[in-house]
Amino acid sequence: MTDTAKLHVALLFGGQSAEHEISILSARNVLAALDPSRFEAVPIGIDRAGRWLLQDAARLLESARDPRQVRIQDGPPVSRDLLAAGAGGAAGRIDVIFPVLHGTMGEDGTVQGLFELAGIPYVGAGVLGSAVGMDKDVSKRLLREAGIPVADFRTLRREAFEADPAGTLAPLAALGLPLFTKPANAGSSVGVRKVTRPSDLEAAVRHAFQFDEKVLVETGVTAREIELAVLGGHPASVSVAGEIVVQHPDGFYSYDAKYIDESGARLELPASLSAATLARAQALAAHTFEVLECDGMARVDLFLTPEGNLLVNEINTIPGFTAISMYPKLWELSGLAPSALVSRLIDLALERARRRAALRRSAAP
Ligand SMILES: Nc1ncnc2c1ncn2[C@@H]1O[C@H](COP(=O)(O)OP(=O)(O)O)[C@@H](O)[C@H]1O
Ligand SMILES: [Mg+2]
């Protein structure tokens, strides 16, 4: 039985990115945090083939916590035509959508465009903020333009690289060692490698090109990894800071260090920072959120060098909500429990939809 008085919140998860499994783990926790007195969950899983399938909430809640063991359940197909879906499709009525999708085709503005066309309010950044935040090349260029420090980097495009691999890589020696190679559009460290020997660079770049047409090669920064959670509209609130302490043989916060090896990394909550450094980090996170056109939520990842300089590494517009994820933990530490956090995010989505509905669509007086 569906409760018509409650807001029907579609949780959209899974998806066709390399972070499919992580998204399922995140969705499970968002579902668990959904206040049952206000919301009715409509879990929709996107399988690897891109099919939208209605999921059973109880089974999702019982699912494993290990990314190697979770999968999208078989279920009634849900039309991606969200306008039609509201009119009696398998998902029934949808009042607001919470995309819990990481990576391409979820965090990059594509699905947000679909929500816009369907006129359904949704949580998090809009089309532009999502697309910008997903692309490490475009976001770093915007940050640099705003005077926000980022690691030195070069962007390689597949065609130019394939036409002349050696000639493309030669100038990168100026970036020093170690180097980090990464797909411009990815996440969860998928496709990222730390290169400590020049002879390994070409293989690392080729590896990253398996995941995207555009690859970044960055100067490796020796720094602490500090993360902050941002919530809200404008101005946004910023949480206390957390730190990722990597203890993995990969020597950086790799996919294995994140999700596979339980002792691969430790979260320091809160990060041990002076009040002044915390304040600087919070201001930088809020500025980054503004510059990158974000909305609702984001996690901003910083590097803190031994000299005390802060650099922005990246922004995640749909941060992880897994059991080990920083975003919900940082808010909990800042006094906002997961259930209140999820309610706030949904309220922000509804407020934005109301604001936008009030905009004039015509030049007529
Ligand atoms: N320029 C860099 N200097 C030092 N470490 C880096 C650099 N770029 C990435 N890393 C390491 O690689 C990890 C993943 O890279 P990141 O750019 O955050 O990609 P993702 O979006 O996949 O998380 C970081 O958490 C960090 O440990
Ligand atoms: Mg990262």
Q: With a 6 A CB cut-off, is 252 part of the ligand 1 pocket?
A: yes
**Cβ proximity of 191 and 211 under 8 Å:** yes
Domain with CATH 3.30.1490.20 in the chain: 152-219
Domain with CATH 3.30.470.20 in the chain: 222-334
Strand positions, DSSP E, 91-172? 96-99, 153-157
For residue 284, which amino acid is it?
L
Question: How do the pLDDT tens digits run along the chain, 365 residues long?
Answer: 556 789 999 999 999 887 899 899 999 999 999 999 999 999 999 999 999 999 999 999 998 778 788 889 888 888 777 656 554 467 788 999 999 998 777 899 999 999 999 999 999 999 999 999 999 999 999 999 999 999 999 999 999 999 999 999 999 989 999 999 999 998 889 899 999 999 999 999 999 999 999 999 999 999 999 999 999 977 899 999 999 999 999 999 999 998 888 899 999 999 999 999 999 999 999 999 999 999 999 999 999 999 999 999 999 999 999 888 999 999 999 999 999 999 999 999 999 999 998 998 888 87
Q: What is the pLDDT of residue 3?
A: 63
Q: Does domain 152-219 have CATH number 3.30.1490.20?
A: yes
Distances (CA, A) of 280 to 229, 319, 323: 14, 22, 28
222-334 is classed in which CATH architecture? 2-Layer Sandwich (3.30)
Ligand 1 centroid to Cα of residue 193, in Å, is 9
188 included as an active-site residue: yes
Q: With a 6 A CB cut-off, is 220 part of the ligand 1 pocket?
A: yes
The dihedral built from the CA positions of residue 222, 259, 230 and 17, taken in this order, carries a sign that is: positive
Class of domain 7-123: alpha beta
Domain with CATH 3.40.50.20 in the chain: 7-123
For residue 124, which amino acid is it?
G
CA–CA–CA angle 354, 360, 365 (5° rounding): 145
Q: With a 6 A CB cut-off, is 189 part of the ligand 1 pocket?
A: yes
| pTM, to two decimals | 0.94
Choosing from 28, 224, 299, 352, the catalytic residue is 299
